[in-house]
């Protein structure tokens, strides 16, 4: 039984372990799984329970200034319970491109401390953890026989290259998928409803000695470990460092005011329409999720690395979407309506008046499915362009502590997202190149509204991808963690997650952050733990009972898991 309720832990004696992981989301659980069966005792502290609850989720409330975030319209952009944001994510995955790891003169503070090759084995492993189709499907070569053969002579060229996104059969919920395996691991203890509020270093600020945990029921306890790992999400990793100001007023790992800065997103916007002149652009393979073994693949467009270097632009990416035959918004709404009902299998809930409303459009949707099934060109009058930006690192784009406090007394976050003219101008540049490419090939016309890059663009939104707030690098003046993920200046504190990305490319971040978590697990097992630790007894018996009453075993939560 390793899923435990933090309310049962007594405050007097700290829990002890070799490794303490904060957060049971994609990063924390991927890391914890790798350490199953090792001789090390692992404690995972997770703020939420097995389901979402309002009081815990409220601990995630932030104040926003800067570019508006979609959470201001009620969008839930992170989930504070077991499994983290994979409980509601879209499951779309792309590895970063090789150019994303390079130092680019035209992108301030760009460059990872290693190249893509170094991450490749962990990417492969991460694809398996996230239950994606075979990793080789990310390679255009893998698509050549099936789709790219004809397409290569058409849509793609030297400048405009394919980009492939993969999805599993359904987006994996990490908590649900791995709960049974994690619960059965004898060296792993997961505490739910355990909110980390502070990391306490030694007075010199060189080693984390213990961390403080609080429950919403008022319980408090501490955890001591040889190695601590923050895996609490792209904003929260920075928040915990900033809030840990006991011996360092500016926050832990923050002597040069870098923590929380360089916050990057993947701004996105539906902008531009392609009016196709050739059936190629109406192929379901180009416009839709193509079913492949183990899930789906989707093709998009970006500029090749060489062209990006020549034009000195960011690595933006275009996803092409069907514009429905009538071109009417109702058709799109109908499509979404059918998808949502079908997805949730609530067909019995469809009401007669709903049907009356959507009936006029069902013919078009039927036609769409028929074309798809027969792999025939779909008669869209136009194609919508969904644009995913690379967001350049920017010191002024940041999260910091607000004056307000949450229910546990911890300072809330203030989020100041900055999107500059550079990102917008680079997108317009990509549109100009793609437009001339399509025109030269006689494929169609890309029409983009005339927008001012220095102005606000209505509809330009974030993607709930929180990156860069504890960035990785060699120099403490410009980064928070070193290439292994260890916080500069602290011997035993590591961070994993998209907060360590120095740049984020255009690719959805989860595949990369899971790859980094697996890389960290490998580093801990092969380098750090053998040197620094002796296996500690797992903390079952060590868990003290409240108020000096006789010790009882901690109350286990349900360990029956949904099979993966």
Ligand X SMILES: Cc1cc2nc3c(=O)[nH]c(=O)nc-3n(C[C@H](O)[C@H](O)[C@H](O)COP(=O)(O)OP(=O)(O)OC[C@H]3O[C@@H](n4cnc5c(N)ncnc54)[C@H](O)[C@@H]3O)c2cc1C
Residues engaged in binding ligand X (CB under 6 A): 22-28, 45-48, 77-78, 80-81, 84-86, 88-93, 195-196, 231-233, 236, 240, 464-465, 497-498, 508-510, 513
**Least distance between ligand X and beta carbon 18 (Å):** 19
Residues 435 and 460: their CA atoms lie apart, in Å, by 21
- The single residue listed with the structure tokens 């607000």 is 402
Least distance CB 506 / ligand X (angstroms): 11
Based on CB atoms, which residue is closest to ligand X, 168 or 325?
Answer: 168
Q: Which is closer to ligand X, CB of 228 or CB of 380? A: 228
Pick between residue 28 and residue 272 the one whose CB is nearest to ligand X: 28
Query: Which residue, among 450, 109, 471, has the nearest Cα to 263 in the 3D structure?
Result: 471
- Cβ nearer to ligand X, comparing 13 with 88: 88
Q: Least CB distance from residue 253 to ligand X, whole Å?
A: 16
Residue of closest CB approach to ligand X: 25
Token pair recorded at residue 108: 């301030």
With H, G, I as helix, E, B as strand and everything else as coil, classify residue 355: helix
Q: What are the tokens at 443?
A: 């494929």
Token pair, residue 420, equals 């500059």
For the chain, what is the largest distance between any 2 Cα atoms, rounded to a whole number of angstroms?
81
How far, CA to CA in Å, does 355 sit from each of 301, 337, 363, 404? 37, 10, 13, 47
CA–CA dist 258, 250 (Å, integer): 10
Asked if 323 and 330 touch (Cβ cutoff 8 Å), the reply is: no
Kindly tell me which of 22 and 417 has the beta carbon lying closer to ligand X.
22
Closest by CA position to 225, among listed 192, 203, 195, 200: 200
Nearer to ligand X, 214 or 434 (CB): 214
For residue 142, the minimal CB distance to ligand X (Å) is 20
> Which helix (H) or strand (E) segment is 306 a member of?
helix 305-311
- Residue 367 and residue 371: Cα distance in Å, rounded? 6
Nearer to ligand X, 49 or 377 (CB): 49
Which residues are CB-contacts of 490 (< 8 A; sequence separation ≥ 6)? 201, 205, 206, 207, 208, 252, 253
Least distance CB 472 / ligand X (angstroms): 14
User: Residue 411 CB: number of other CB atoms within 10 A?
Assistant: 16
Q: Which is nearer to ligand X, 211 or 438 (CB)?
A: 211
Q: Torsions phi, psi of 39, nearest 5?
A: -85, 15
**Smallest gap from residue 7 Cβ to ligand X (A):** 14
- Choice between 227 and 358, CB closer to ligand X: 227
In whole angstroms, how close is the CB of 219 to ligand X at the nearest point? 14
The secondary structure element, H or E, covering residue 10 is none
Of 24 and 286, CB closest to ligand X: 24
Q: At what angle do helices 116-129 and 510-523 cross, to 10 degrees?
A: 100
Tokens of 206: 């060189």
Considering the complex, what minimum distance in angstroms separates the CB of residue 25 from ligand X?
A: 2
Residue 339 tokens read as 């998808």
> Shortest distance, CB of residue 350 to ligand X, whole angstroms?
25
Least spacing, CB of residue 131 vs ligand X, in Å: 13
Q: What is the DSSP string of 85-107?
A: GGGT----B-PPPGGGGS--TTS
Nearer CB in complex with ligand X: 198/305: 198
Edge-to-edge strand ranges of the sheet holding 398-405: 62-66, 411-417, 398-405
How is residue 199 written in tokens?
Answer: 């990391």
Q: In the complex, what is the shortest distance from the CB of residue 70 to ligand X, in angstroms, rounded to a whole number?
A: 9
103: exposed, middle or buried (Cβ count in 10 Å: 0-12, 13-18, 19+): exposed
Q: Which is nearer to ligand X, 365 or 495 (CB)?
A: 495
Q: How far is the CB of 96 from ligand X (least distance, A)?
A: 11
């Amino acid at each position: 039984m390793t899923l435990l309720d933090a309310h049962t832990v007594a405050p007097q004696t700290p829990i002890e372990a070799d490794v303490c992981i904060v957060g049971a989301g994609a990063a924390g659980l991927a890391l914890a799984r790798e350490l199953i069966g090792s001789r090390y005792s692992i404690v995972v502290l997770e703020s939420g329970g097995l389901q979402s609850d309002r009081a815990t989720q409220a601990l995630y409330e932030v104040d926003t200034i800067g570019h508006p975030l979609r959470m201001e319209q009620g969008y839930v952009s992170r989930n504070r319970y077991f499994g983290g944001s994979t409980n509601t994510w879209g499951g779309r995955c792309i590895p970063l491109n090789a150019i994303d790891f390079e130092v680019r003169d035209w992108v301030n503070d760009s460059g990872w401390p290693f190249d893509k090759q170094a991450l490749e084995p962990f990417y492969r492993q991460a694809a398996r953890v996230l239950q994606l189709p075979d990793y080789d499907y990310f390679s255009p070569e893998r698509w050549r026989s099936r789709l790219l053969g004809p397409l290569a002579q058409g849509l793609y060229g030297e400048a405009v290259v394919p980009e492939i996104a993969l999805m599993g059969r359904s987006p994996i919920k990490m908590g649900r998928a791995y709960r049974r395996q994690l619960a059965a691991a004898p060296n792993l203890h997961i505490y739910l409803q355990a909110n980390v509020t502070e990391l306490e270093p030694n007075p010199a600020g060189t080693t984390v000695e213990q961390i403080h945990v609080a429950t919403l029921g008022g319980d408090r306890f501490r955890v001591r470990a040889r190695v601590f790992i923050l895996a609490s999400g792209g904003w929260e990793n920075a928040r915990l460092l900033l809030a840990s100001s006991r011996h360092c007023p500016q926050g832990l790992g923050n002597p040069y005011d870098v923590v929380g800065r360089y916050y990057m997103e993947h701004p996105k916007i539906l902008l531009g329409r392609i009016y196709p002149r050739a059936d190629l652009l109406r192929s379901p393979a180009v416009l839709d999720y193509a079913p492949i073994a183990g899930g789906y693949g989707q093709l998009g467009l970006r500029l090749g690395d060489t062209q990006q270097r020549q034009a000195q632009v960011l690595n933006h990416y275009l996803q092409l979407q069907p514009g429905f035959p009538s071109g009417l918004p109702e058709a799109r709404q109908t499509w979404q309506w059918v998808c949502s009902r079908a997805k949730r299998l609530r067909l019995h809930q469809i009401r007669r008046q709903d049907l009356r409303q959507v009936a006029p459009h069902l013919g078009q949707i039927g036609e769409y499915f028929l074309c798809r099934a027969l792999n025939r060109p779909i008669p869209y009058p136009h194609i919508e362009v969904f644009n995913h930006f690379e967001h350049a690192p920017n010191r002024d784009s940041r999260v910091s502590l607000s004056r307000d406090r949450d229910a546990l007394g911890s300072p809330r976050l203030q989020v100041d997202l900055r999107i500059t003219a550079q990102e917008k101008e680079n997108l317009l540049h990509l549109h100009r190149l793609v437009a001339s490419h399509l025109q030269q090939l006689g494929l169609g016309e890309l029409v983009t509204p005339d927008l001012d890059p220095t102005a606000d663009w209505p509809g330009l939104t974030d993607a709930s991808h929180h990156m860069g707030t504890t960035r990785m690098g060699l120099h403490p003046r410009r980064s928070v963690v070193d290439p292994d993920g260890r916080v500069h200046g602290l011997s035993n504190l590591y961070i994993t997650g998209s907060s360590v990305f120095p740049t984020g490319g255009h690719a959805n971040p989860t595949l990369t952050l899971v790859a980094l978590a697996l890389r960290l697990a490998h580093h801990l097992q092969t380098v750090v733990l053998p040197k620094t630790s002796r296996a500690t007894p797992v903390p079952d018996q060590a868990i003290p009972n409240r108020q000096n009453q006789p010790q009882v075993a901690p109350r286990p939560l349900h360990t029956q898991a949904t099979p993966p």
